[in-house]
Structure 1
Amino acid sequence: MTILHARRLLCRSFSSISGNPLRVCVVGSGPAGFYTAEKMLKAHQQARVDIIDRLPTPFGLVRSGVAPDHPDTKIVANQFSRVAQQERCSFFGNVTLGSSISLSELRELYHVVVLAYGAESDRSLGVPGENLKGILSAREFVWWYNGHPDGRNLNPDLKSSDTAVVLGQGNVALDVARILLRPSTELATTDIAGHALATLEESSIRVVYLVGRRGPSQAACTAKELREVLGIHNLNIFIQESDLHLTPSDEEELKSSRIQRRVYELLSKAATSRPKQAGLNQRELHFVFFRKPDSFQESEERAGHVSGVHFEKTVLKGAGPGKQIAIGTGEFEDTKCGMALKSIGYKSVPVDGLPFDHRKGIVPNDRGRVLSDTLDPTALEEGLYVCGWLKRGPTGIIATNLYCAEETVSSISEDIERGLLISSMSSPKPGRDGLLQLLHDRNVRVVSFGDWEKIDSEERRLGSSRNKPREKLATWNELLKATSE
């Protein structure tokens, strides 16, 4: 009998003994985490899967990232709830990797650990004036209006100016522009956070500039998002028709991407549409292309506060087949504003004991298997995997995580079948019982899925009296208090 054959027999007998199940911990309860848990439960009938999250609430960006006026996108939470309610699955909220428990401790407790905690930081522009007041990341702003407890105290100033600049032209950039420009009466029946709605009702913002480094044929949004913002009631759209001129390279890009081609067509149509009649509540959205921020300008009247953005004009230069990058021309122009939102990308945060590629902002991996040496694809961290943005970078839509999870779970299954987890799986692991004991010893207040259902019930009760699907509890104290009522 070969060693490999013996390993396979051991792994098969291991996974078939209900008293010694495969213990799996998924860190992060967003789409990547829940899809991973769902696929693991289906692929391994004896597996026990525990999902931990630093928040008391599950569902990640489905709850705190998807715009409040996109309720259909949030329906996937029902599917995730069914996963969490399975007997072989548990959710433990208010558990922070790195402080409540270390990665090395999780690896001792579980045969397999899958990190799927996403990207909770922001890329930096690295230009002068970036720390002026009034300059926020789109992530912070999204968390604020979605009732994320870490965004509750953001308090953006929407009254001191009528103009905001949004840097970026992806879906998140369009989301924040739409929230700023859409009538608050239309947002009032969504699950937008109450504190955000109150601020938006008094907002003075009437003009938003959506600024991109490249041209309309490279805009990173989807046609669905673009159609939605273009359809806002009483909104005038401004696009320089000269920006819509296509070079041969642009045409090649559009030929190879149906999505980008549709986006370009929508922008072209919007550029030639007649402005709506001016009125008291008339609002403007300006799509500005071929500009990159060179610096932020400080207000003379309000020390330390942003008053505008100094832009450098750009042109596109070929950087390989089907790819063009923006380079500066040395020409500059200013755009006045009292608020700037940076929507230039999210960034994942490393934890102790985790290999991390700081340049790419991801964990080095091979189809979800964590690599301990980026130069050696065979140097694997046994029993440690990644999924979602931590694995591939902050790209894609919710459904992208489904395919991402399928790949990671496939890698886990292959490794079990090939006996590559032999040292991890050669003995029973404490799993859930060990985790709860350790957290109890450290006085960590664990929020179960049943506790979350209490939060959910309270939010729905509060929302029903205000003609909203829910009124989100937006502070840590409110969320934790609801679990004990």
Structure 2
Amino acid sequence: MAYVVTQSCCADASCVIACPVNCIHPAPGEPGFAEAEMLYVDATACVGCGACATACPVDAIKPDSVLTPQEQPFVAINADYYDCFPHLDRRPLAATVPQRRLGRGGRRRVAIVGAGPAGLYTADELLKHPEISVDVYDRLPTPYGLVRAGVAPDHQHTKQVERLFRAIEEQPGFRYFLGVEIGRDLTLAELQAQYDAVVYAVGASADRSLGIDGEHLRGSLSATDLVGWYNGHPDQVDLEVPLDGASGRAVVVGNGNVALDVARILALDPSALEHTDIAALPWAALCRSGVREVVVLGRRGPADAAFTLPELVGLAGLAESGALDVVVDTGGASLPTGTRKLEVLARLASRPVTPAHHGVRRIVLRFHTRPTRILGDATTGVRGVEVERDGTTEVVDADIVLRAIGYRGRPVRDLPHDEATGTVPHVAGRVRPGLYVAGWVKRGPTGFIGTNKSCAEETVASLLDDLDDPDESVSGLPAPVGTAASIAAVVAGRRPDLVDLAGWRAIDAEERRRGERRGRPRAKIVDVDEMTRVAHPPSAAGPDRRGYPSLRRLVTGRDRRT
């Protein structure tokens, strides 16, 4: 029995460390580790001990004997890697180095702005140094960023990375200041006065526009907003999503993973989502939806498709199980060959198309097609999309058009901004000594959840170099004022309803309790005021689950309730 990796990697590398025979690659220090779509188990070297499966935080590794029919392609996918990269010597390419320690003594405090994967991986890297404490700020009362509000609800295995984040939160020296917006409640200058360093990890929250006529009609939406809507993001609770139009069709422009996610959620029978953490009102709306076909437009050909192999394999599995009909439309052009992704597309293209009157919902992967304008008017909203393929123009009837052509970073108050890349200019994460960036605000919207780990390692290395600089006139890092308690007092004075770790634990527990009653992993609270009330029950003056007094009690000596 051999073990098989079945999804994209979180880059935690626990499985690599756990493997006694070094059969999981690429490993840390090897080419491609941080950028790889996934890791691969060498079946010829695997001894079937299961240590990797036990160590994997997202349950991505399974014995080949228990794979579902939809997961069987991953056996060949894992083997393909070793056909190209045998790793016969089984020696790691990078030696383990001793844990770095700061050369200059004393306690150090670092503020991290953003509680998504980038922020939490950065906190994890910093907390490896016992002399450093970390305060993580976020404008929402809940952490985890796109893991909570961006991962599709039918990908619950991906969301299990939350277990890693929970372990980070439990480390000594970690604090949350949630529901606190930097730039509104506190300024960057105020943070820098209180901390040795500040790291921004705020992501890229905007979407790219198509730049065509009709893009602002009712029913023309960004996939970013739709993902937030069905995931219960407070900013998108009131998003108008017209799912009951006469055409019964939605069009998604783009062919990355987000495009496949939104197409799948719109096309799946809602019963397939009933036991996920999809937000309640969007699920009810999908139950009433008239959408029966989702057309995914790719401007280029199948070989250039941006979606990853694991996402495509998952879609193919739905088609082969009968949950969806998937059509590959190349406009008559032959499918190229040469990669496993193209082989999966060819397998989908060879499947017989289920007649529309059979009632099976359909996703059409249409390549070599460029949208030229969105049709409709202010009264009726979207009615269709004019598209061009090989010089020929036609109209695809649709009631909703979703642009899924990438995220884009907005300017961040008090930080420089590169308009061309949508990022903050930096060198190895350093904006200037004392101010740093990590995640998408640093590198742009690229990579996977686990990519943030190597990104955080680079930024933290630059930060530690500055903290260790013996010449403060060069590093520009003056000693901060105040103490941990005085910082908490300042923040609580600005935001008396802030949510700390104990408050987040209360929200999390309540969501899980409500979800358990409905057979779901959680039932998300989507109203910010309700989150705040749950975070501050009458007993909030008591200790948090680690035995420490609540932040509010520590700072004010009493509890405030909203």
**TM-score where L is the length of structure 1:** 0.85
Instruction: Describe the shift of the 1:83–1:280 C-alpha distance in structure 2 as closer, same or farther (beyond 3 A).
Output: same
Match of 1:262 in 2: 340
Match of 1:362 in 2: 423
**Which residue of 226, 230, 235 corresponds with 2:316?**
230
Q: Write the letter of the residue equivalent to 2:353.
A: P
Match of 1:390 in 2: 441
Contact 2:411-2:417 at 8 Å conserved across structures: yes
Deviation at 1:280, TM superposition (A): 4.8
- Secondary structure of the 2:141 match is coil
Contact 1:29-1:58 at 8 Å conserved across structures: yes
Contact 1:109-1:430 at 8 Å conserved across structures: yes
Q: Write the letter of the residue equivalent to 2:349.
A: A
State how 1:122-137 maps to structure 2 within 5 Å: 122-137=207-222
Contact 1:111-1:424 at 8 Å conserved across structures: no
- Secondary structure of the 1:24 match is strand
RMSD value, Cα: 2.0
Instruction: Describe the shift of the 1:465–1:156 C-alpha distance in structure 2 as closer, same or farther (beyond 3 A).
Output: same
**Which residue of 438, 443, 455 corresponds with 2:490?**
438
**Which residue of 302, 308, 311 corresponds with 2:387?**
311
Contact 2:193-2:480 at 8 Å conserved across structures: no
Deviation at 1:103, TM superposition (A): 1.6
Match of 1:107 in 2: 192
Deviation at 1:129, TM superposition (A): 0.8
Q: Write the letter of the residue equivalent to 2:329.
A: Q
Match of 1:409 in 2: 460
Q: Write the letter of the residue equivalent to 2:379.
A: A
Deviation at 1:295, TM superposition (A): 1.1
Q: Which has the higher contact order (CA 8 A, sep 6+)?
A: 1
% identity of equivalent residues: 41
Whole-angstrom CA distance in 1 between matches of 2:159 and 2:483? 31
Contact 2:331-2:368 at 8 Å conserved across structures: no
State how 1:213-228 maps to structure 2 within 5 Å: 213-228=299-314
Structure 1, residues 265-295: CA drift from partner, whole Å, max 9, x if none?
1111111111236555311111111122211
**Higher alpha-carbon deviation: 290-299 or 278-287:** 278-287
Contact 2:194-2:480 at 8 Å conserved across structures: no
Whole-angstrom CA distance in 2 between matches of 1:309 and 1:227? 28
**Higher alpha-carbon deviation: 278-287 or 444-453:** 278-287
Instruction: Describe the shift of the 1:91–1:22 C-alpha distance in structure 2 as closer, same or farther (beyond 3 A).
Output: same
State how 1:257-406 maps to structure 2 within 5 Å: 261-276=339-354, 279-298=357-376, 303-313=379-389, 329=391, 331-370=392-431, 381-406=432-457
Whole-angstrom CA distance in 1 between matches of 2:168 and 2:323? 43
Structure 1, residues 102-134: CA drift from partner, whole Å, max 9, x if none?
122212221111110101111112211111000
Instruction: Describe the shift of the 1:112–1:136 C-alpha distance in structure 2 as closer, same or farther (beyond 3 A).
Output: same
Does 2:280 correspond to 1:197?
no
Match of 2:33 in 1: none
- Secondary structure of the 1:48 match is strand
Deviation at 1:421, TM superposition (A): 5.6
Match of 1:325 in 2: none
Whole-angstrom CA distance in 2 between matches of 1:311 and 1:419? 61
Whole-angstrom CA distance in 1 between matches of 2:208 and 2:467? 37
Whole-angstrom CA distance in 2 between matches of 1:412 and 1:157? 47
Whole-angstrom CA distance in 2 between matches of 1:25 and 1:417? 18
Match of 1:65 in 2: 150
Deviation at 1:436, TM superposition (A): 2.6
The count of aligned residue pairs is 432
Structure 1, residues 303-358: CA drift from partner, whole Å, max 9, x if none?
250111112336xxxxxxxxxxxxxx5x4222110001111111112222201101
Deviation at 1:431, TM superposition (A): 6.0
**TM-score where L is the length of structure 2:** 0.73
Does 2:246 correspond to 1:185?
no
**Which residue of 160, 166, 170 corresponds with 2:252?**
166
Q: Write the letter of the residue equivalent to 2:230.
A: Y
Does 2:561 correspond to 1:483?
no
Q: Write the letter of the residue equivalent to 1:93.
A: L
Whole-angstrom CA distance in 2 between matches of 1:297 and 1:164? 13
Whole-angstrom CA distance in 1 between matches of 2:471 and 2:270? 56
Q: Write the letter of the residue equivalent to 2:362.
A: E
Contact 1:382-1:420 at 8 Å conserved across structures: no
Q: 5+ unaligned residues in a row in structure 1: which ranges?
A: 1-10, 255-260, 315-328, 371-380
Match of 2:172 in 1: 87
Does 2:86 correspond to 1:25?
no
Instruction: Describe the shift of the 1:145–1:124 C-alpha distance in structure 2 as closer, same or farther (beyond 3 A).
Output: same
Deviation at 1:420, TM superposition (A): 6.4
Q: Write the letter of the residue equivalent to 1:236.
A: D
Structure 1, residues 149-171: CA drift from partner, whole Å, max 9, x if none?
11111131111241000011100
Does 2:322 correspond to 1:240?
no
Deviation at 1:230, TM superposition (A): 2.7
Q: Write the letter of the residue equivalent to 2:127.
A: L
Instruction: Describe the shift of the 1:307–1:12 C-alpha distance in structure 2 as closer, same or farther (beyond 3 A).
Output: closer
Instruction: Describe the shift of the 1:460–1:420 C-alpha distance in structure 2 as closer, same or farther (beyond 3 A).
Output: farther
Instruction: Describe the shift of the 1:414–1:240 C-alpha distance in structure 2 as closer, same or farther (beyond 3 A).
Output: same
- Secondary structure of the 1:269 match is helix
Deviation at 1:418, TM superposition (A): 3.5
Deviation at 1:33, TM superposition (A): 0.5
Contact 2:205-2:410 at 8 Å conserved across structures: yes
Deviation at 1:480, TM superposition (A): 1.2
Match of 1:34 in 2: 120
Contact 2:434-2:477 at 8 Å conserved across structures: no
Instruction: Describe the shift of the 1:454–1:243 C-alpha distance in structure 2 as closer, same or farther (beyond 3 A).
Output: farther
Contact 1:216-1:243 at 8 Å conserved across structures: no
Whole-angstrom CA distance in 1 between matches of 2:170 and 2:271? 36
Contact 2:386-2:396 at 8 Å conserved across structures: yes
Q: Write the letter of the residue equivalent to 2:255.
A: Q
Deviation at 1:428, TM superposition (A): 4.0
Deviation at 1:405, TM superposition (A): 0.7
**Higher alpha-carbon deviation: 81-90 or 141-150:** 81-90
Whole-angstrom CA distance in 1 between matches of 2:351 and 2:498? 55
Deviation at 1:440, TM superposition (A): 3.1
Instruction: Describe the shift of the 1:425–1:431 C-alpha distance in structure 2 as closer, same or farther (beyond 3 A).
Output: farther
Structure 1, residues 358-401: CA drift from partner, whole Å, max 9, x if none?
1110111111111xxxxxxxxxx221111110011111110111
Structure 1, residues 69-97: CA drift from partner, whole Å, max 9, x if none?
11111111111112112220111100112
Whole-angstrom CA distance in 2 between matches of 1:477 and 1:441? 18
More helix by share: 1
Whole-angstrom CA distance in 2 between matches of 1:342 and 1:470? 29
Deviation at 1:437, TM superposition (A): 2.8
**Higher alpha-carbon deviation: 409-418 or 22-31:** 409-418
Whole-angstrom CA distance in 1 between matches of 2:219 and 2:243? 9
Whole-angstrom CA distance in 2 between matches of 1:346 and 1:413? 30
**Which residue of 205, 210, 223 corresponds with 1:138?**
223
Deviation at 1:452, TM superposition (A): 0.6
Contact 1:235-1:276 at 8 Å conserved across structures: no
Match of 1:465 in 2: 517
More strand by share: 1
